[in-house]
């Protein structure tokens, strides 16, 4: 591989294209899981280390007159890696399980930790936040991984 091709690969140019298929465009506070498919098409031979599909909450925060966009992963699914040849396309199903309700219990250090209020997905739904599905293919040797984003509306 020549220097120019290595530079393109490192920047993610001509590597792969990621798309979200059959994923919802709306979500509600009663949604327990999000299902869909993610498609990746290689533009050159690629080693896909993993694919991560996340439900992301976007909100705007203002502090001392400075506005910042905040993004927080609410839940995600991680798919195992594989090799792709040039022009090969692979479609994989995903399921993101959402934690709903007012409390979450976790096993921590041999005991149980319960977090109440504001910890579940449903507690923040219908706030002034926006939601989106984000699929990222983690490619070996690539600094800027291919990404697909789909906006979600809350109902």
Q: Render pLDDT for 109-121 as a digit per residue (tens, 0 to 9).
A: 555 555 544 444 5
Do residues 92 and 37 touch, judged by C-beta distance below 8 A?
Answer: yes
pLDDT of 24 strictly over 50: yes
What would the mean pLDDT of 14-36 be, rounded to a whole number?
89
What would the mean pLDDT of 1-16 be, rounded to a whole number?
55
Tell me how far apart the alpha carbons of residues 49 and 111 are, in angstroms, rounded to a whole number.
Answer: 34
CATH assignment, 3-94+124-154: 2.60.40.640
> By percentage, how much of the chain surpasses pLDDT 70?
72
Domain spans of the chain? Answer: 3-94+124-154
Q: What is the pLDDT of residues 79-110, one digit of tens each?
A: 999 999 999 999 999 999 987 655 544 555 55
**Element of type H or E holding 56:** strand 46-63
> By percentage, how much of the chain surpasses pLDDT 90?
46
Closest CA to 155 of 22, 48, 28, 37: 28
């Amino acid at each position: 591989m020549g220097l120019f091709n290595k530079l393109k690969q490192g920047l993610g140019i001509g590597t792969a294209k990621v798309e979200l298929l059959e994923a919802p465009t709306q979500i509600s506070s009663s949604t327990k899981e999000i299902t869909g498919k993610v498609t990746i098409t290689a533009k050159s031979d690629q080693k896909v280390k993993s694919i991560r599909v996340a439900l992301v909450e976007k909100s705007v925060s203002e502090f001392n007159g400075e506005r910042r966009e905040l993004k927080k992963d609410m839940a995600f699914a991680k798919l195992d890696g594989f090799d792709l040849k040039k022009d090969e396309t692979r479609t994989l199903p995903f399921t993101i399980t959402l934690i709903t309700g007012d409390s979450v219990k976790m096993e921590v250090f041999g005991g149980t930790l319960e977090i109440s209020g504001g910890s579940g997905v449903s507690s923040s739904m219908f706030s002034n936040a926006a939601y989106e599905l984000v699929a990222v293919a983690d490619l070996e040797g690539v600094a800027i991984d291919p990404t697909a984003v789909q906006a979600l509306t809350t109902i």
